[in-house]
Amino acid sequence: MENASQTHVVIMAGGVGSRLWPASTPDMPKQFMDLLGVGKSMIQLTVERFAPVCPEENFWVVTSERYADIVRRQLPQIPAGQILTEPEPRNTAPCIAYACWKISAHSPGANIIVTPSDALVLDTAHFSSIICSALSWTRTGRNIVTIGIAPSRPETGYGYICAEEKELDKIVKVRQFKEKPDLETAQEYLQAGNYFWNAGIFVWNAETIMSEMRAHCPQIARIMDLIAPSFYTPDEARAVKELFPQCEKISIDYAVMEKSGNIYVIASDIGWSDLGSWSSIKQHISADENGNSKVGKDIRLFNTSGTIVHTANEKTVVVDGLENFIVAENDDMLLVCPLSDEQLIRQFSSK
């Protein structure tokens, strides 16, 4: 695409994915796993999705120090100096600031896409065209574009973006960001037609986001200005380790999106899911005639329906007599749980 050399993709990959325990654990969270049984991890699929709009040498990953080696193994094509490590998690605003300040130090005119590492997009061709539209919009001028998802149901697990217009595939002004709603409110959002799921994907140029952060979260901007002289030098690791933990712990939505007057959205139906629950994983794995979905080498099901079986290791698993269950195995951990109780999984994993 035009000006691709000035386009950079920042992948946020520091989360721990606790809702998908035991497959996803703090040692190996969901972004580094092949959740769908397709032979690629979620972060590998993310890089693949953005390949049409950005050259390999312009990809960046921001992750925890503990995951740096995993990122290097799974994404050997990304330059080692562009795998940025956080000494401790401070939510998305400091994470994004670190990457954008560093990109700007070498490419002040850069156009930047920021994306989570662990979501699924089925219609990748249409997704690329939407991203290109957003990049054209942000290349000049002080605009931020976020990607909205046309809701298919009254979902209570996602934040929403309220837009000035109902139109899809068109860049329109954002009126307001909304927190995760209750069911009644989510139904009202669906009915209204101008509320879209917040996918956490943002497009801006470096100058714009730095200016917005200076205005709306100056504490983080000051820390980045202190770290910046060390960028691309042997002193960077020490400066980040000392100063990054001093950043306010805040999301980019709270820090900038909800305060800025320059936010736009382009919403579409691209087959998006954050794969944040076993139910959502099940929806994206082909089911047998009894509605069962399975990932694993040798899974044998008898008198079983509506169940997801997900095994990480090469072993035989036999399931008999379950209906609408989760059976998930990883190393020395096994979960057998009704799908209706999946909201309790975080509690199960923390005991």
Clarify whether residues 158 and 255 are in a common domain. Answer: yes
Say what the pLDDT of residue 269 is: 95
CA 216/CA 260 separation, integer angstroms? 8
Clarify whether residues 34 and 105 are in a common domain. Answer: yes
Considering all CA atoms of the chain, what is the largest pairwise distance in Å, rounded to the nearest integer? 64
Clarify whether residues 144 and 190 are in a common domain. Answer: yes
CB atoms within 10 A of CB 319: 18
Clarify whether residues 322 and 267 are in a common domain. Answer: no
Of 251, 273, 295, at which residue does a domain stop? Answer: 273
Clarify whether residues 177 and 312 are in a common domain. Answer: no
Q: Are 221 and 71 in contact (CB under 8 A)?
A: no
In this structure, the strands spanning 111-116 and 325-330 are unpaired
Clarify whether residues 345 and 294 are in a common domain. Answer: yes
Clarify whether residues 146 and 289 are in a common domain. Answer: no
Clarify whether residues 238 and 123 are in a common domain. Answer: yes
What CATH number did the domain enclosing 200 receive? 3.90.550.10
CA 294/CA 182 separation, integer angstroms? 31
Clarify whether residues 294 and 151 are in a common domain. Answer: no
Range of the domain at 61: 4-273
What's this model's pTM, rounded to 2 decimal places?
0.94
Q: Are 95 and 74 in contact (CB under 8 A)?
A: no
CA 203/CA 90 separation, integer angstroms? 21
Mean pLDDT, consecutive 10-residue stretches, the chain (351 aa), reads: 77 88 92 93 97 95 96 96 96 97 95 97 96 93 94 92 95 95 95 96 97 98 98 97 97 94 96 92 95 95 97 87 95 92 87 62
pLDDT digits (tens, 9 = 90+) for 32-63: 999 999 999 999 999 999 999 999 999 999 99
Residue type at position 35: L
Of 255, 273, 291, at which residue does a domain stop? Answer: 273
Number of domains, the chain? 2
Of 273, 291, 306, at which residue does a domain stop? Answer: 273
Say what the pLDDT of residue 351 is: 62
Say what the pLDDT of residue 334 is: 93
Instruction: Copy the structure tokens of residue 99.
Output: 């990457």
Clarify whether residues 295 and 266 are in a common domain. Answer: no
Q: Are 246 and 86 in contact (CB under 8 A)?
A: no
Clarify whether residues 60 and 191 are in a common domain. Answer: yes
CA proximity to 18, closest of 291, 333, 218, 277: 277
Clarify whether residues 37 and 173 are in a common domain. Answer: yes
